[in-house]
Every structure is written in structure tokens, then in C-alpha cells.
Chains A and B, each alone.
Chain A
Amino acid sequence: MGTKKVSQKDFEKWVEKLIGLQKVFGVQSKDDKYEFGALLKAENLRLDYDITILPPKKYFLPSTEQLFSFGESGFNSSVDGEPFILFGVHPYDFVAIRQLDVLFSMKNNDVYYQTRRNAATIIVCDVENISENAFSGFLGFDHVEKGFDLLVTKTGSDYLVESGSDKGKKLLSLMENAVDAQAADISKRSEKWKKNRELLKKQLLKANVNELPAALGKAYDHKIWNEKAEKCFSCGSCNLVCPTCYCFDVQDDFGWDLKSGERTRSWDGCMIENFATVAGDHNFRKNKSDRYRHRYYRKGKYVPEKIGEIACVGCGRCISACVARIANPVEIFNAVAEA
């Protein structure tokens, strides 16, 4: 849909303009790390980040959100559909959002997710710095060529901005002093993609991704499940930081009048001990290894069989988040592929 080139200065001006136009959430520094948060000034935007602590999933599936309130007027559901801009989503995280788009509309549409998703304009940005545990390069999730509203790539001291939707085009039209990108600029971007594909291979994935569902199918009794899970604290951190985890719990609360109140849903994790426990204290995944295996089967087999794509995007967040040092999907995928 057209790619523009713009100087650093005009790019920043444009970001400032967007902030005046809509609510913008963008990547900013937080101590020595990075996170998505409300962007108040263009200069706070850090498109040179390596990885954010939490994935941008939280803007579509908040860690806790109200499903409805109840009271004398009955059940009332409302979800904020105010337009917003999500600035600086890395390609692998964008792939995760694309997967959630499919999962939350499959068979039954989830209006909360969908309303937020429709309200968003997503600005993807190519990776400038490589995080320590990244492996999206092995999965083909190191860059994206479609689906985004806008794609931003830094080339030297300029930015290339491509629009991929009408929403994106509209925002792009607000940019001043932008010129059409030339073939040489586009090939600079292609070079960057090629380089990033190789750089985003910090964890060495040897397994063939397409054969992973079949390999897992044969690895149910592999010794690795026990070996790893033995050290697991069932803390759920690997679930929490994962851009493709979307399980949730549902909770009711009364207000002070004990008549009105709300029902909310919150992130949940399949690694947590009582995730599958039913009344009478019967836990269908009682052993840590059962839960541990389930997580990797979801990433490598169950969800891929539904959506046709591996449900781990290679961000490496779980690897960094696990204090037991056992949550590396690459180790699992390599081991089952070898067996």
C-alpha cells in the first residue's frame, strides 16, 4: 500500500502528532528493561528496544478485565472501544496477536477481545537490538510482510514506514516531509530482514518446525517431561510472560451493598497446580510433568493443529522468566525431534 521515507526529526514530529490524535501505547524504558505503556511524549518511544517484559497482548486481553457488572438493572456488559495506537510491536509479537485473532474468533466470537482489537491501530517495528534468548529467526517470525496497519523500519538515520491497511494509511497521511521510498530503500529493508533472520537465532533450534506436531505425537512418554518438571515451581511465570498464552480464570465479586458486583476474568496458567482440578479435589493434571508436557503440547501440537502455525513465536521471554531454568522451548523441541 505504499512505503514512505522520513527523517528522524519528522518521524518524531509525526509521533507527537499521533499522541495528540489518539491514545498511544508505546515501548519505553523501565529501569534497565522495556515495557509497553501510555506514551505521553514522542521522545519516550524506544524503538531500539530488544524485548518488552510483557507482550502487547495485554491491550487485547488485559491481565484482569470486567466481563459484566450486575445489579438491579440486570447484567450489563461494556467494553472500551475507544480507538488507540499500539506503537512498536515487534514482528514475533505481532504474529502472536494474529494467532489470538484467530483463536478468539474461532467458533465463538469473543466480543471483549474483538472490540479492543478493532479499536487498535498496530504499528509494527522491525527489531533493532536482539534479546538474549530470541529464536524467532528459526520460525520465520523475525519479520512480517502483511497484516499490520503500519510497519516501521529504521534504515540508517531515516525511517521507512509502510501502510498495510486503511487505518494505517490514514495515520501515514499525517506525516510531514515524507517521500516515497525508492527501490534502494526497500532493498535496505530487505537486507535488514535477512540480517535479523540470522541474528534472531540466539537459542539454537534444530528441530524441523513443520514436523514438530508429529514428533510431539510420538514423545508423550519421553523422559524429558519428568527431568525438567522435577525442578518446576508451578509458578506460572512462563504462562504469564507468553504472548501466545491466553487461558483465563473467571471470578465474581460483590460490591459493598452485597447486591451489585462484577464478574471478571484474569490470566491463568496451565502450569499452576490446580488449573485442572474439579470439585472433590480430583486433579486431572496432578503431576508437574503432566502440566509441563501440556504446555509444550499446546505450543507445538494442539494449537498448531487448529491454526496451522506453531504457537510459540520464539520471543524467549519464558526462558528468561523461569527461575528454575527449565522453560526453554528450544530444548524441548530439539529433544523430541531427536527421539
Chain B
Amino acid sequence: MASGATNIYLPEYATITAAKQMTETEMYFSFKLDSGKPLGHMPGQFAEVSLPGIGEAPISISSSPGSNGTFEMVIRKIGNVTNKIHTMKQGEKIGIRGPFGTTFPVETAMKGKDIVFICAGLGIVPLRSAIQYVMENRKNYGKVTILSGTRTPSQRLFIDELKKWAAIKDVTVLETVDIAEDGWTGNVGVITTLFSKVEIDPAKTIALIVGPPVMYKFAILELRKYNMKHQDIYVSLERHMKCGVGKCGHCQINNLYCCQDGPVFSYADIENIREAI
């Protein structure tokens, strides 16, 4: 064994407690650490998923901390690790390191405020941890608006949960797709087209945005039309990550380390960081 305190590069084992296909490219997983301990994350954090012999990938934790010792992830199949995990089933083991990174301000800035969740593409995956948290502690927050956009209807994630959330008092869910398919009767257009249907009081609203890199600029422009303060807008950024613990240098956004200073940033903290958005 390596001497000294804990080894930041050594994963611990977790077992897949559930696995199911969500769309053609996304699969849902729930895991439990073999130690029996909860992962100990807060909404917005990620963990490094290890498949020994294949590699590691940083993946957002999609569930709130409250789910009895298990934690959930949604993984898009795109390369070595993610393709392999798509072939894995309940009962199989993976390695986990984490949780890492900053969190959505569920216990600080968001408390007592109206919340707007802006989820584009896979963005709903990390945001779901915060949405669940808000729903579990509903009385601590004001009005909730969830905007969700995907390319096509068949790429929608967590359809049942969106429906369930929409039924909760003072929760509005608005969905859109870029391209309609047969049978789709909902909104068509990019996610920013939903803003015309939303009322935002800039004095008491916190907005959380997660989506593909190109989307942030446009969503932030919309929010600025409401005169929202920049420190009330939060984003979660993706970068190439190899270590997750501030050493390997891959995730740098100018001087910031996405794995430690992020992935969740307040827009006020990154608006002058040239490589951020």
C-alpha cells in the first residue's frame, strides 16, 4: 500500500443496483458503494466512474443525497468507458472516486427563492439532483420553473418525473424539442423560445443552467433580459478531466480548475474568464 493518508487516485468498489435503457444513447444506472456508506454528495457534484482496464470518466450524480444510500447516473454512450458501461447489468461492479467539485447552492443562495432550472440536452441529468432536492424540501423554496429542451422527442429523459413535478403546487414544467417527430404535440424550437412563456422576478429568482457548451451564451442573454443579477445565475461546465482532484491540468478554464473550482460556477465568477463560455 502507498504510505500516508488516503490515496486520491484509488477508486472504491460500487455495485450496480439497477440499469435501464432510457433512450437510444442514454442509460440510467443506480449504484451502491460496497462499503455500505452513502456517497456523501450534494447536488451538482460528480464522481469518477472507473472501469478497470478501460478507464475513467467524470459523470454527474443525478440523484439527490436523500436516496437511501444509492446514487444515480445517466450515461451517454460516446467512447471507451461509456460504451462499456452500457453493456453492464445489475449486480456488476464498477469503481468510484468522489464526490468531487462544487455544488448548486441548494442550502445557501437558493433558499427562499424562486428557482428556474434550464436543462438542455443532457443538462437535466445533473440538474435533476437539485430538482429532487428542491422537491424534497419544497417549503424552503418559492415558485419553481423547469425548462427542458432536447433535440428530438425520443431523446427526452425523465419523462415520468417531469410529469410528476409538473403536478406539484407552484411548479411549472415547460418542454420543447428542436425537431418534432410523429406524435409530438408540444413546443417546437430551441430552449430559448420557452422564455416568452416564463415570468421571472429578478429580485427573488435563482437560475441554474446546464446544457451543451454552445447553449450557455443564449440562455444567459435571455435571463439578462429579465435584469437578473449575474451572481444569481449558476452554470455547470464540462471539461476534459483526468484526475478530478486538481492535479492533471486537463480541466483548466484559464486559471480555474473545473474539477475543483467547478463544475458549478456562478456566472458572476466566470463572466470575465475568457475560456469559460
Binding site for B on A (CB under 8 A): 67-68, 70, 74-79, 81, 103-104, 106-112, 114-115, 220, 246-254, 258, 261, 263, 265, 268, 270, 275-280, 282, 284-285, 290, 294, 297, 301-302, 305
Contact = CB atoms under 8 A, between A and B. Distances in A.
Contact of B242 (A246, A249, A301): A249
A77 B10 contact: yes
Given A70-B52, A276-B240, A277-B240, A75 B10 contact: yes
Contacts of A275: 240, 250
A270 B78 contact: no
Chain B interface, DSSP helix/strand/loop, else mixed? loop
Contacts of B52: 70, 75, 252, 261, 263
B3 A81 contact: yes
28 contacts: A67-B9, A70-B53, A75-B10, A75-B95, A76-B1, A77-B10, A79-B2, A79-B3, A107-B245, A107-B246, A107-B260, A108-B246, A108-B247, A110-B8, A111-B4, A112-B9, A247-B250, A248-B242, A248-B249, A249-B250, A263-B56, A265-B9, A265-B248, A268-B250, A276-B252, A279-B76, A284-B239, A290-B275
Given A276-B240, A282-B213, A253 B53 contact: yes
- In this complex, the interface size class of chain B, counting residues with CB under 8 Å from chain A, is 35 or more
Interface string B86-107: 0000000001000000000000
A258 B246 CA distance: 31
Contact of B255 (A76, A81, A268, A301): A301
A247 B249 CA distance: 5
Contacts of A285: 275
A265 B7 CA distance: 14
Chain A interface, DSSP helix/strand/loop, else mixed? mixed
Interface string B1-43: 1111101111101000000000000000000000000000000
Contact of A220 (B213, B240, B274): B274
